[in-house]
Structure 1
């Protein structure tokens, strides 16, 4: 007995070419009996079927669900040939033959009704386009078909005729008492075919499938559906449809998947791994594997691998025990071919190709102990045409390989392997980022590792390596070169381009080092501000940093210093690796910190160096070890060399010369791109100033398109750069407080503030505009003011304009800014006399309760600052008749009972008034009661109750009045509160806002339960009718007061002006009924509440 593969028995059908295209029948073909016998006969089917782990899990899931009296919905995702249909056939035969499948280790329930629906066949998937006629019934829908198979068509007859999807109760009635397995194959094709012609039925099908998928919750109904798509799992563990077969609409696939997965689960391709593919091929191709021969071959193979492990891929070689009679790389290569060629239909095409291979081998009988990957030979016309269907430009390449390797089988096997494993990448002269995915010399040598074959040709793996090196485009052995085979850094691939790079690269070593470094420095500066995806385009535009500027002199030497010291933020690039010879992280950090500290904090000063004044302005970008520096310089040398060479003398005809020039230009572009990408990988560290002239070194963040953006993104993540939108007044105050600076307490120059940021490394990098905006924010919040070019900005008023902040501005404490703004506005007041009238333009502060206080009088109030912040500044223009103005100072007095208070009463004339004025007071004594203005008098008031004292002035049959509010000071056992609760002992309620007095009093009367009295005085005035009424309750009942004031309010119109002061005295409180209403009035500043605390 030999150790050749021919000792294994191949299935008879493999040698029948007419069966090549019948290896994957539709589910419907099996259901209607129109398929090869191996698919119709359950025993034959299981004899050629390898049951993968995924298939077993699927059978068990279904069995477990049905055993519990429940169902399940399962979607099987796989592209063409991924095993979807074969899996449904497995389920079809398994549940139709529960006793038979026990022989194959499958235990399933008996009595399950299996209904198969093949979406491409109207015999198993009727539709309005192709109805199914059976037993004098015309079935037009899927639900009609299922009902007919269950013998319960009458339940859905009307719904089938009307093409209306059955509802949940209809389906429950249909499946009652049944155990059902429904297999849906090619349902996406079915839906796509109907979508446009029968859109309403298409929608009804989706509704039906969604309802059907939910049946398994309560009934033993299992639905298994195939979806021609590939899914992946996202970071949040959600399945995502990644790829959909080209003949299907994504909208249909996604709609179908969405409806089915609401109540189900997804299964990936039944045949997904290399192990699955190997087992399927062994089962489908071989009737019997000779275990004795297998053992001998595996032993020899492993011995050869161990002996030449420096030349072969040991990890691949170890898999021979699971892939025999196939070489491990046969399986891997076939799998990659099926994935790399979108027109190949997965496993079914893989089986077909392998049938071609087996027939070739068994006919020609080459010496083989394994079926090698290069037995997938481009010499076979069927394999050649199938593989190159979408790659016609590689026909010449394949023909050239065949011609140049004539009589040299080992050369063909090596070249053929490189071809079939790389052509579908359609690579050019540079493999680029795919280099790591290409075969290396160990893999290629392993591809021909066959003990019997190598023994026959008298070659060792070391010899094979030498042959391999001689056939690629950069080989020194010109006679052995096979055009189109490329080799770079130990990776091999085929291209259909001629290769001018070998011509130009031969002079790369002659390029001077200085020229290489100059060119690299220029590119580094370019990449700092030019997006990497635009850097090769014409008319490319640079992108400035959000905050950082580029220092346009590259530091080549780590001992160089930055010759700039100004209030601007700079990124400095160090081009040479900072610590190329460092061996560990600690050594790198120590060296980096030392160099970075000098660059960040020192400037050249003559022949020495001095400390940088603006010590918070420099950021250093550098490479720690420059691990890819040699690669970058090598690329640069090749680029310079190839840029200077003329390749036309190397080509005979014009077309070839033009083509070679094009290839060279593309290669130069690839080199440039490689240089750009390598530079982005080269820089890996950023150093910036922190703390007390210290240095922080961090990893450079990737993902941005310019080096400058990467540095800024890194510093933003580090919190060293503050974005403008994140930098407000609160942040500014917090940062400065850490330095012991409080700009809310004393005047501060904005210029000095900027200097603090540029000179203090403990502060972040912020733009000037961010500082200005933060200051504006502080002004808007009334926490500071600002004075710019003599104008004060604090509280907003109509003609103030935008808050102007620049370097010349001065930050003012809030009270100082308020004082200056009031003075500034008062200075703008004007009085204009015209004939018998006077026009006054002046500013008032309108308080929340509607009270207006002239700004010129505001500061007389000890709480003027609080009121100024709470009120609104308004410009008033008042036209006065000739006469007088009457003023009281102060307008509110407070004291203990019996205490005497004095109020200054001032009478000032308006216009050319010279008549006598007579004064009278409703309470208290005036020391002067008449006079010709301007004059003043004193009113003495003895305090005995809360109320309002009115002083009136009569002249020329006219009268003016002024009110003085009197309040008794409260007992220390009472206090004003911000909120009340049900246990609060309310003693008094002051009503501050009179605008809606009736509603407020009614709310308070119903909310506070107990004995209450109302005191104070209000004035109700209609300015248009020049009518006013004063009402003074003295311990009145609240309802009596409301009844009294109602007709007065009605008489004075819709919007009477109400002023004055009212207080509800609670003599005996029994409870609080509506706490939330009282608290709402307090929060709105409408009332003040005093409660007893002792």
Structure 2
């Protein structure tokens, strides 16, 4: 069954104005979030579920769990979404039964007081502590800490927070600490005072008087090294002073099937029954079996089918290839992949490609679509010229021209473009020691699909492509690459040459 019949995308997928909406803690604190829509479009991951369970255990005063949770994942990895999910459940008891179903978490506590600080709000006149006190309508408790600004001690925090169950979110702190360095306080600065205040807060919540108070902190160590250094000092101080550590949680697991659940929940409103998914998986497995009998791939049909059942309606290779570039500087991990695939899904359905596709593959990126191209170039900006020359340029790239005219009596297909896009996605990483490119058997394995003729791909595409990209096999081979193909080689790991002439590649220092 094709995607158009089996899967119904959410309307938000087609609404470009919603694609760039990023919720933050301020939206939660100011009640700007539609909680029903939020939980409808967001999957509760294992890490998020653990946070909810343990935080409510703390708020209900039924757990000896330390009162601080550190959400440790790179930018765009689900930290703020996890906070918002917990915050909505804390503020609205009626949501708990609906969202958590048979889970009794939070059943013995009513409305929880939720306060927080968004580090992107750098203009907090009375510091982080003043902002939190004001949200509790207890600003006067910290009167001694405003003029001049000075960090509240442990006792001051206890005096502010004791009483009703309270949930405190500290999000995006590193950029705030970076900015706070510029604000002098005597012989020190606001960043030092803020780090001290955080450290004292974390110690305070482990006091018996605050056994129903919980602090959740997000970290951005990889993106804000200076600020996170200050933040980690506070965490270290907590460990040193209490002998206990904050519980570190990863909102989205980099292993397993969570990523597929997140993508399905966010992008699709309706999905088919298991029997339909099994039929699709078996159809792909049949293609893999045929390719294996032709000795062009070593992929296992059974493994292929099992992975597709897990990943449907996405091809399982998307997760594996995403893992290569998710650590790219500036890339927003889960959020970034959602943005990219939202654009891909919208394009597939808007252009009626969903009428002939059973799955969404890595090579279904329409790089002539401005939005998709923009997302890909944001992952690795250095590849723009190579994409235009070799893959997509409104019919004038090398791959497009080869597909349009056919080669060696082979009818026109998208095989050249699909191979090129597979290599592109496999080579988007721009971090040290990154893996680039694919083995020939992997390329053909990922191309396996019902209706695709694999019998001529190796000869007509894999072996033929180098000759159309300017490769000259000979004594001066290293001098024969065009300027654009040199860019290709630098970024893609010469996968074709690796498979056709490994020794020659070694001689010219290409591998």
Q: TM-score range by the shorter chain?
A: 0.7 to 0.9
Partner of 1:62: 55
Indicate conservation of the 8 Å contact 1:92/1:116, yes or no: no
Write the deviation string for residues 225-245 of structure 1: whole angstroms up to 9, x where unpaired. 00013xxxxxxxxxxxxxx21
Equivalent residue runs for 1:917-928 within 5 Å: none
Partner of 1:420: 425
Partner of 2:347: 360
Q: Of 254, 273, 276, which residue of structure 2 is paired with 1:293? A: 276
Q: Of 243, 259, 268, which residue of structure 2 is paired with 1:277? A: 259
Decide which structure has greater strand share.
1
Task: Report the Cα distance in structure 2 between the residues aligned to 1:256 and 1:65, rounded to whole angstroms.
Answer: 21
1:96 matched to 2:96? The reply is no
1:205 matched to 2:194? The reply is yes
Displacement of 1:646 after TM fit? 9.1
Displacement of 1:184 after TM fit? 0.7
Task: Report the Cα distance in structure 2 between the residues aligned to 1:261 and 1:9, rounded to whole angstroms.
Answer: 49
Task: Report the Cα distance in structure 2 between the residues aligned to 1:196 and 1:269, rounded to whole angstroms.
Answer: 31
Displacement of 1:45 after TM fit? 0.8
Partner of 1:245: 223
Residues 268 and 312 of structure 1: is their aligned pair in 2 closer, same or farther, counting only changes over 3 Å?
A: farther
Task: Report the Cα distance in structure 1 between the residues aligned to 2:168 and 2:507, rounded to whole angstroms.
Answer: 57
SS at match of 2:189: helix
Equivalent residue runs for 1:65-84 within 5 Å: 65-66=58-59, 67-68=61-62, 72-84=67-79
Task: Report the Cα distance in structure 1 between the residues aligned to 2:229 and 2:63, rounded to whole angstroms.
Answer: 35
Displacement of 1:370 after TM fit? 0.4
Report the TM-score, using the length of structure 2 for normalisation.
0.79
Q: Of 410, 415, 418, which residue of structure 2 is paired with 1:410? A: 415
Displacement of 1:425 after TM fit? 5.1
Displacement of 1:373 after TM fit? 0.8
Residues 269 and 465 of structure 1: is their aligned pair in 2 closer, same or farther, counting only changes over 3 Å?
A: farther
Residues 426 and 394 of structure 1: is their aligned pair in 2 closer, same or farther, counting only changes over 3 Å?
A: farther
Q: Of 317, 321, 341, which residue of structure 2 is paired with 1:329? A: 317
SS at match of 1:50: coil
Partner of 2:164: 178
Task: Report the Cα distance in structure 2 between the residues aligned to 1:647 and 1:60, rounded to whole angstroms.
Answer: 60
Residues 149 and 423 of structure 1: is their aligned pair in 2 closer, same or farther, counting only changes over 3 Å?
A: closer
Displacement of 1:419 after TM fit? 1.7
Partner of 1:441: 440
Partner of 1:27: 25
Partner of 2:213: 221
Indicate conservation of the 8 Å contact 2:52/2:86, yes or no: yes
Displacement of 1:296 after TM fit? 2.3
Indicate conservation of the 8 Å contact 2:281/2:306, yes or no: no
Gaps of 5+ in 1: 35-39, 132-139, 230-243, 428-432, 484-498, 505-644, 657-662, 676-1094
Partner of 1:8: 7
Task: Report the Cα distance in structure 2 between the residues aligned to 1:442 and 1:668, rounded to whole angstroms.
Answer: 20
Write the deviation string for residues 265-323 of structure 1: whole angstroms up to 9, x where unpaired. 24243123252221111100001101253232123223433454452533455311111
Equivalent residue runs for 1:807-826 within 5 Å: none
Task: Report the Cα distance in structure 2 between the residues aligned to 1:203 and 1:426, rounded to whole angstroms.
Answer: 32
Indicate conservation of the 8 Å contact 1:77/1:226, yes or no: yes
Residues 265 and 471 of structure 1: is their aligned pair in 2 closer, same or farther, counting only changes over 3 Å?
A: farther
Partner of 1:550: none
Partner of 2:498: none
Write the deviation string for residues 754-794 of structure 1: whole angstroms up to 9, x where unpaired. xxxxxxxxxxxxxxxxxxxxxxxxxxxxxxxxxxxxxxxxx
Indicate conservation of the 8 Å contact 1:305/1:317, yes or no: no
Displacement of 1:671 after TM fit? 5.0
SS at match of 2:183: coil
Partner of 2:335: 348
SS at match of 1:333: helix
Let me know the Cα RMSD of the aligned residues. Answer: 3.3
Q: Of 150, 160, 164, which residue of structure 2 is paired with 1:164? A: 150
Write the deviation string for residues 998-1028 of structure 1: whole angstroms up to 9, x where unpaired. xxxxxxxxxxxxxxxxxxxxxxxxxxxxxxx
SS at match of 2:391: helix
Task: Report the Cα distance in structure 2 between the residues aligned to 1:385 and 1:324, rounded to whole angstroms.
Answer: 26
Residues 68 and 185 of structure 1: is their aligned pair in 2 closer, same or farther, counting only changes over 3 Å?
A: same
Indicate conservation of the 8 Å contact 1:14/1:355, yes or no: yes
1:385 matched to 2:374? The reply is yes
SS at match of 2:182: coil
Task: Report the Cα distance in structure 2 between the residues aligned to 1:266 and 1:65, rounded to whole angstroms.
Answer: 12
Indicate conservation of the 8 Å contact 1:405/1:412, yes or no: yes
SS at match of 1:319: helix
Write the deviation string for residues 648-690 of structure 1: whole angstroms up to 9, x where unpaired. 7x6999xx9xxxxxx9xxx999759899xxxxxxxxxxxxxxx
Task: Report the Cα distance in structure 1 between the residues aligned to 2:482 and 2:324, rounded to whole angstroms.
Answer: 38
Indicate conservation of the 8 Å contact 2:47/2:251, yes or no: yes
Displacement of 1:372 after TM fit? 1.0
Indicate conservation of the 8 Å contact 2:252/2:259, yes or no: yes
Partner of 2:177: 191
Partner of 1:469: 462
Displacement of 1:12 after TM fit? 0.5
Task: Report the Cα distance in structure 2 between the residues aligned to 1:283 and 1:467, rounded to whole angstroms.
Answer: 39
Task: Report the Cα distance in structure 2 between the residues aligned to 1:246 and 1:399, rounded to whole angstroms.
Answer: 36
Gaps of 5+ in 2: 405-412, 487-493, 495-502
SS at match of 1:245: coil
Displacement of 1:160 after TM fit? 3.0
Task: Report the Cα distance in structure 2 between the residues aligned to 1:651 and 1:349, rounded to whole angstroms.
Answer: 34
Task: Report the Cα distance in structure 2 between the residues aligned to 1:152 and 1:69, rounded to whole angstroms.
Answer: 27
Displacement of 1:420 after TM fit? 1.9
Indicate conservation of the 8 Å contact 1:209/1:260, yes or no: no
Displacement of 1:185 after TM fit? 0.5
SS at match of 2:359: coil
Indicate conservation of the 8 Å contact 2:78/2:252, yes or no: yes
Write the deviation string for residues 138-185 of structure 1: whole angstroms up to 9, x where unpaired. xx1222222232233322222234322222222222222222110111
Task: Report the Cα distance in structure 2 between the residues aligned to 1:69 and 1:397, rounded to whole angstroms.
Answer: 55
Task: Report the Cα distance in structure 1 between the residues aligned to 2:270 and 2:414, rounded to whole angstroms.
Answer: 29
Task: Report the Cα distance in structure 2 between the residues aligned to 1:73 and 1:65, rounded to whole angstroms.
Answer: 10
SS at match of 1:503: coil
Equivalent residue runs for 1:640-659 within 5 Å: none
Partner of 1:923: none
SS at match of 1:419: helix
Equivalent residue runs for 1:399-798 within 5 Å: 399-402=389-392, 403-406=397-400, 407=404, 408-424=413-429, 438-451=437-450, 453-454=451-452, 459-460=453-454, 462-473=455-466, 478=467, 481-483=468-470, 502-504=473-475
Task: Report the Cα distance in structure 2 between the residues aligned to 1:423 and 1:172, rounded to whole angstroms.
Answer: 49
Task: Report the Cα distance in structure 2 between the residues aligned to 1:223 and 1:651, rounded to whole angstroms.
Answer: 58
Task: Report the Cα distance in structure 2 between the residues aligned to 1:448 and 1:669, rounded to whole angstroms.
Answer: 25
Task: Report the Cα distance in structure 1 between the residues aligned to 2:482 and 2:419, rounded to whole angstroms.
Answer: 30
1:121 matched to 2:144? The reply is no
Residues 401 and 482 of structure 1: is their aligned pair in 2 closer, same or farther, counting only changes over 3 Å?
A: farther
Partner of 1:305: 288
Task: Report the Cα distance in structure 2 between the residues aligned to 1:43 and 1:290, rounded to whole angstroms.
Answer: 23
Indicate conservation of the 8 Å contact 1:113/1:181, yes or no: yes
Larger CA Rg, structure 1 vs 2: 1
SS at match of 1:162: coil
